[in-house]
Chain A
């Protein structure tokens, strides 16, 4: 590394007119989906504490190494100039700037998943894959494996800004975003719109994506066409339901479409059990998707006599009518 880079703190900040600084994100920037307001308020209150680090090449043009957000905040406050440290010359390697930015960021905040992808994509041309996996991924708090690296690179390189914003703002989970990589951008966008509108939970997002992709295949329709379904629209625009209720209704509807036989069996089973007068303290459940051959009887009781009473009541019910719901009545 260049001598000055090892001694950044010894560089004396100089006043730099902000209009001279190129404020496009640039090759070192790893900020995405941020809210500038807290920083603006902080600078307004106490001023700029940490000077940004800039690079000035031999032609005099200035790019940001660290402090992209600070410069943006200062510009939005219409500040004319700010004290910045400057590295000069053409012999400063891009990778050195990149690592300065990375460590500057890691020291003060947690990167979101899109930003982690930005870091990894920027490291790829300079650092061997194995070193990225072994050293930089743990630094970013990521599991040290190639599959995870591949996912982050794909999200950064292939996802549209809308999708990345949803990830950065925590509306779309990273794992679910990976599921969206295999579909086209228009389909992706229509699913993300629904996720954002209904504020679906991570689990509901996964189910929505899975069911939608499957059903669009089964029905031979495009995903946007499939999601244009009247029932889905009705759920989405139902003013009597809040978002969690809408989310549950949507998933229930899609699940019934995706698993008609399973849903029918569940309904039948529920009907069968409800015909028995079990009371509140006795339950009969089936295994997930009826895969196990066994059903479960659950009895809440206080003591032996109360258990005996409940079991005697239970035995008086028509329990012989219980059967696998897909089987004909005996």
Chain B
């Protein structure tokens, strides 16, 4: 995947950050504009063109004033894994048709938080202040963890701090093959590199700009052989024609490339979305088939597959993956105990139960 940045916007006052300088040096041939005080560089509301491309070719360097480390927004209606998000930036250069970010953020452009390095101290202070708690931290919720890494050098910046802490792990979640920065780093301990996977059909038709499944798995193999712990995420699982055969093909591919013993965890999550995302997907991806299924309103206000369909998807994947290796750290993302029990054969009872399960995986892998 090659990121085609054709414009850079600088927020007021970001020029002095080390990251800004490094990014500008990387992208020295790209025109740079400075954000005006009145915010007029922001896309006007009426620009359909901007809404359609979401500013995926514009890198916007901002000084983020919110908290860098925040819990993943779960809901009490479903069981949540207690993940923490390190908010390095928002929006993503990939263009997956099902991506919730299309409706999640109201600001366009690839926003890079260039004050991250300066704020990392506070992040680690928060982690160190609770030594008995395990922080499972990821950068891949509001953007792809590695898609912009060749430009932003996020991995270079954050690996060291996590690698030397005993109560945290950092997960870099991606659909790209941008692992050069990681592989060049000397840090391995407590770093998890994970790939989002899907069926070849969905990957080919819906994950625009992402690396092919084979390429993702080649990278995963390389990372594994270079000493990284790896993870996988089948999220979103999408019901489509021949979905069983198609997902089986992906698991067959995994078998060809990956040593399952080195997988810390694999999540399964069926496609779910805020109702506001639907018209955006229809507009931006008119050929998509991700909306074809039977989606009903979930208890958290999001649309999700009708319960027995979700159970069938999970149970099928669970069985398939279990046959491959019985100890993959399989878990469901944002599901009810009922669905857990029916499809996985056990249930964590509470969000804390799931947290404990995953924390235990961390202890087993990293001590």
* A and B co-occur in one complex: yes
Please give the distance in Å from B141's CB to the nearest CB on chain A.
Answer: 24
Determine the residue in chain A with the shortest Cβ distance to B47: A150
A34 CB within 8 Å of chain B: no
B224 CB within 8 Å of chain A: no
B307 contact set on A, CB distance < 8 A: 289-291
In the bound assembly, the distance between CA atoms of A265 and B44 in angstroms comes to: 46
What count of chain A residues pass the 8 Å CB interface test? 26
Please give the distance in Å from A215's CB to the nearest CB on chain B.
Answer: 9
In the bound assembly, the distance between CA atoms of A213 and B279 in angstroms comes to: 10
| B282 adjacent to A292 (CB under 8 Å) | no
A261 contact set on B, CB distance < 8 A: 294, 306, 308-309
In the bound assembly, the distance between CA atoms of A326 and B294 in angstroms comes to: 15
Which residues B291-345 have CB closer than 8 A to chain A? 291-292, 294, 296-299, 306-309, 336-338
Please give the distance in Å from A290's CB to the nearest CB on chain B.
Answer: 6
A288 CB within 8 Å of chain B: yes
14 sampled A-B residue pairs with Cβ under 8 A: A146-B45, A149-B46, A179-B279, A217-B289, A218-B292, A259-B306, A260-B294, A261-B294, A261-B306, A265-B306, A289-B296, A289-B297, A293-B337, A324-B308
A147 CB within 8 Å of chain B: yes
In the bound assembly, the distance between CA atoms of A111 and B124 in angstroms comes to: 57
A280 CB within 8 Å of chain B: no
Interface size range of chain B in the complex = 20 to 34
A129 CB within 8 Å of chain B: yes
Please give the distance in Å from B309's CB to the nearest CB on chain A.
Answer: 6
A259 contact set on B, CB distance < 8 A: 294, 296, 306
In the bound assembly, the distance between CA atoms of A262 and B296 in angstroms comes to: 9
Most A CB within 10 A of own CB, among B46, B282, B298:
B46
| B298 adjacent to A153 (CB under 8 Å) | no
Main secondary structure of the interface of A (DSSP, over half): helix
A260 contact set on B, CB distance < 8 A: 294
A-B contact count (CB 8 A): 56
A149 contact set on B, CB distance < 8 A: 45-46
A290 contact set on B, CB distance < 8 A: 306-307
> Do A150 and B45 contact each other (CB < 8 Å), given the known contacts A260-B294, A291-B297, A291-B298?
yes
| B297 adjacent to A288 (CB under 8 Å) | yes
| A265 adjacent to B308 (CB under 8 Å) | yes
Counting from the closest, the 3 A-B pairs by CB-CB distance are A146-B45, A289-B296, A326-B308
A182 CB within 8 Å of chain B: yes
| B299 adjacent to A291 (CB under 8 Å) | yes
A238 CB within 8 Å of chain B: no
In the bound assembly, the distance between CA atoms of A328 and B362 in angstroms comes to: 39
Which residues A137-192 have CB closer than 8 A to chain B? 146-147, 149-150, 153, 179, 182
Please give the distance in Å from A62's CB to the nearest CB on chain B.
Answer: 34
A214 CB within 8 Å of chain B: yes
In the bound assembly, the distance between CA atoms of A268 and B296 in angstroms comes to: 18
Please give the distance in Å from B349's CB to the nearest CB on chain A.
Answer: 13
B283 CB within 8 Å of chain A: yes
In the bound assembly, the distance between CA atoms of A217 and B279 in angstroms comes to: 13
Q: Report which of B46, B294, B336, B337 forms a contact with A262, defined as CB distance below 8 A.
A: B294
Q: Report which of A147, A258, A289, A326 forms a contact with B45, defined as CB distance below 8 A.
A: A147
Q: Report which of A153, A217, A293 forms a contact with B291, defined as CB distance below 8 A.
A: A217
Determine the residue in chain B with the shortest Cβ distance to A293: B338
B46 contact set on A, CB distance < 8 A: 129, 146, 149-150, 153
In the bound assembly, the distance between CA atoms of A217 and B286 in angstroms comes to: 9
